[in-house]
Amino acid sequence: MGNALDCIAPMNQKEDSRYASSSAAAATFSTRPFFGGKPSLLSSSSSTNKRANNKKGLSVSFDSNDGGHDSSSTIIQEQAIAAALLFRHHQRNGSLPDFIRSTSVVYPSPGNSKKQGGLPKSSSARRRSLSDLTITPQKVVNSHQSAFVSHLGKCHMVEKFNKKKLAIESDLAKLVDQNSCFQELRIDSLETNHFVLVHGGGFGAWCWYKTMTLLEETGFKVDVVDLTGSGVSSSGTHTITSLAHYVKPLTDIFDKLEDGKKVILVGHDFGGACISFVMELYPSKIAKAVFAAAAMLSNGQSALDMFSQQMGSNDVMRQAQIFLYGNGRNNPPTAVDFDKTLLRGLFFNQSSAKDVALASVSMRPIPFEPVLEKLALSDTNYGSIRRFYIKTQEDRAISVCLQETMIESDPPERVFQLKGSDHAPFFSRPQGLHRIFLEIAQVPPKQTSSSTTTELRHLLANDTL
């Protein structure tokens, strides 16, 4: 135990002898139980000796309570003595680790601290450690604000998504309702299951490839035709001198059509003038005529008369037109072509890039003579055929205003509006165009009135007819 005291006392060699003699006189030892019955060191009986010892060095005293210690107290005391011995050992050898201590600098609070009752602010001079947090209160606030804004944005997106989802579901329900009747469509019960599709000026049979596919998949018979000098026709554009010459491939189809058979005749663009010409020639072979963004002319009117009504207001049309002079500059133009770089803005502003590319390499000049020819249309022939018109709402070649003018001039039986369609509905809205064709095909034929039937029987009986 003496060795333990010698290790604790922080004194030099000269002071050791004096300290030993004075300590021997002032300190007393008791035989109280300690460390399993061994003598234990007691504190100095005099407080004066305590202060003297504290001045000279570190003094450690352990007072034992009367009645003995339990095992836990004994362990604590042993650990405390061991720690003290280890500390003194390191202190003598100079091997104590450097403890980083910090000093605080106190800053006065701004304003009158008495009135505000605020506490002084302090700032630590200790170097910041890499493990210290660097989050400031402002960052915490900004983080919460960002999270809140993000939450609001997500809520808004979810709300928009739900609205869009409801709209899509509503549209799908409408399509299902519309298509239900088409799925139940019985081709054999229709007035006719035969469509004949006529292209517009500069186009060809190729433009109907989507519509032809949809109709054939539904069960219809479809004929598409290349008019003279159009599509894959071998005839040159400059050789066409009349409308009859231009529509010869179309009239050939009707000449070959069986007696009693009827078709639904569809014309697009300048094809509207072409089908009007054929309607006058074959009224008994045409059940219905459909004008899709087409020239629906009146008696004595030419296609040029109709197109010239909007020529002054359509700058794109004027810029795109290129007149061709097959017979020399001293003679009238024989054909009209279009600048391929302006096709999208004029005809295909809602169509896909693939369809625009197809048109740019497939379109041919329009023969000029058929455009100049005035039609002779009668109520007996042309007027006896049921007509339907399809308006294209985003059309830049034949404006909606011009389409409405033609409709008002000679109203058809029914008008359909194809929203989102440019001048080429077979490219920009093929599904919508297909649904309209199916609806027109299902329109029942007109019933002859009983009075008219009786009158006809009476005339037949009297051999008047």
pLDDT of 3 strictly over 70:
no
Tokens coding 313: 């207001």
What pLDDT does residue 187 have?
Answer: 86
Has this prediction a pTM greater than 0.75?
no
**Closest Cα partner for 4 from 51, 32, 38?**
38
Q: Which residue has the higher pLDDT, 97 or 50?
A: 97
Query: Known catalytic residues?
Result: 269, 395, 423
HSE of 46 in the Cβ direction (CA atoms, 13 Å)? 12
The span from the CA of 422 to the CA of 428, in Å, is: 6
pLDDT of 226 strictly over 50:
yes
pLDDT of 364 strictly over 90:
yes
pLDDT of 376 strictly over 80:
yes
Q: Is the C-alpha dihedral spanning 356, 360, 364, 370 positive or negative?
A: positive
- Contact by Cβ (8 Å): 426, 210: yes
Tokens coding 91: 């202190």
Strands 335-338 and 286-294: unpaired
Domain with CATH 3.40.50.1820 in the chain: 190-446
What pLDDT does residue 77 have?
Answer: 83
The span from the CA of 251 to the CA of 249, in Å, is: 6
What pLDDT does residue 32 have?
Answer: 41
pLDDT tens digits along 306-316: 888 876 667 78
Highest mean pLDDT: which range of 109-113, 161-165, 428-432: 428-432
Beta bridge pairs of residue 302: 374
The span from the CA of 344 to the CA of 397, in Å, is: 11
Q: Which CATH architecture has domain 190-446?
A: 3-Layer(aba) Sandwich (3.40)
Residue 87: pLDDT band by 50, 70, 90 thresholds? confident
